[in-house]
Structure 1
């Protein structure tokens, strides 16, 4: 029986309950599909062309920046997904940006939990290769949820993050951070560099990269993040 009070308590603490397991429902074909997670809620799922139930896939949750859409999040790794056999899940924030940035956890955690439960019920996912990533505000939210749910996420991919604010720290996911030297939206000194240093002091393994650019995600950084996550490079 579903415990609504328990689910609400988890969402308010930034904790996700969905976990990979044995699929119980029919999978959708390869390609990009809308995810049904509730009326008016936009989420997207991309199933790679090479997905097979006997070959567990890696999975990445991808989060857009402020004012973005699910499509913006998906496109962070979409060009690499089919070749790497990666399932992508991209929700849209319920407000102009993610809930914790607006004040507190709640609606976005619930939507993401529903989206992940939908995927885990239909696809065989490798629990050792489940990542959460994002750009800008999405990167900050990825770090925040990733550190609070290290028992689910093995890796965090943060492209130009501003902060991390996990209400609890569970597990020790490994962290990729990249940041542009000329970023005027989230300056590198107060954001990427500071975060990498603080996370390292906290005992997290951090793969940190700087690039000659502004508040963007260069293609070479997407590729490096994917290699680091999937190949340990």
Structure 2
């Protein structure tokens, strides 16, 4: 997906369609200084098995707008990408996901739009800063206990209890590693996506 000048807006991956099985759309947000390809790779290895339609936007700057100056350019870009995706594919629910700054952005955007978003997958988030909250999307959070970029003690170990206090259903997994998404965590997130309780 490109803009009028040929610049990359996003990468999209769609497993083979099934007549009676609409997609679960997962919007994947890369970390600071990262790329749409890195966002896509977060769940690409499990996309076919779990029938996940993956949309990986490219941030307009080195990180997402909220990190730099507040919601703006990237929100509008994601909104346009979602409209295009809905027009081209049968989608039954929308999940926001990401890694590092992308995870913080997914949480912030997902909780702000919880009446529209069904879930959030946050790999090694630093924070959550929604403008306001709507609905109660379910949340999956993972974090490495040896993370030196976003230390678990000041990030997820503070964030997850706060989400519980606010009434969110959170699946939290720590792992023996650093600032990364190990294979077992990717698999756990994919399993959570497909087995969790659905919205009524």
Q: TM-score, normalised by structure 2?
A: 0.94
Which secondary structure does the structure 2 equivalent of 1:178 belong to?
A: strand
Rounded Cα–Cα distance in structure 1 between residues aligned with 2:111 and 2:37: 24
Following superposition, the deviation at residue 85 of structure 1 comes to 1.1
Which residue of 1 is the match for residue 66 of structure 2? Answer: 100
Which residue of 2 is the match for residue 185 of structure 1? Answer: 149
Rounded Cα–Cα distance in structure 2 between residues aligned with 1:178 and 1:140: 12
Distance 1:138 1:110, change over 3 A: same
Q: Which of 30, 33, 42 pairs up with 1:67?
A: 33
Which residue of 1 is the match for residue 80 of structure 2? Answer: 114
Indicate the structure (1 or 2) with the bigger Cα radius of gyration: 1
Rounded Cα–Cα distance in structure 1 between residues aligned with 2:156 and 2:181: 13
Rounded Cα–Cα distance in structure 2 between residues aligned with 1:60 and 1:94: 19
- Note if contact 1:63-1:73 (Cα within 8 Å) is conserved in structure 2: yes
Deviation per CA, 1:9-61, whole angstroms, max 9, x where unpaired? xxxxxxxxxxxxxxxxxxxxxxxxxx245542420110112x13542111100
Following superposition, the deviation at residue 64 of structure 1 comes to 0.3
State whether structure 2 residue 63 is matched by structure 1 residue 89. Answer: no
Which secondary structure does the structure 1 equivalent of 2:74 belong to?
A: helix
- Note if contact 1:64-1:134 (Cα within 8 Å) is conserved in structure 2: yes
Which secondary structure does the structure 2 equivalent of 1:213 belong to?
A: coil
Rounded Cα–Cα distance in structure 2 between residues aligned with 1:55 and 1:36: 28
The structure 1 segments of at least 4 consecutive aligned residues displaced by more than 6 Å after TM superposition are none
State whether structure 2 residue 184 is matched by structure 1 residue 217. Answer: no
Which residue of 2 is the match for residue 173 of structure 1? Answer: 137
Which residue of 1 is the match for residue 117 of structure 2? Answer: 153
Q: TM-score, normalised by structure 1?
A: 0.81
Unaligned runs of 5+ in 2: none
* CA RMSD, Structure 1 to Structure 2 (Å): 1.3
- Note if contact 1:37-1:111 (Cα within 8 Å) is conserved in structure 2: no
Unaligned runs of 5+ in 1: 1-34
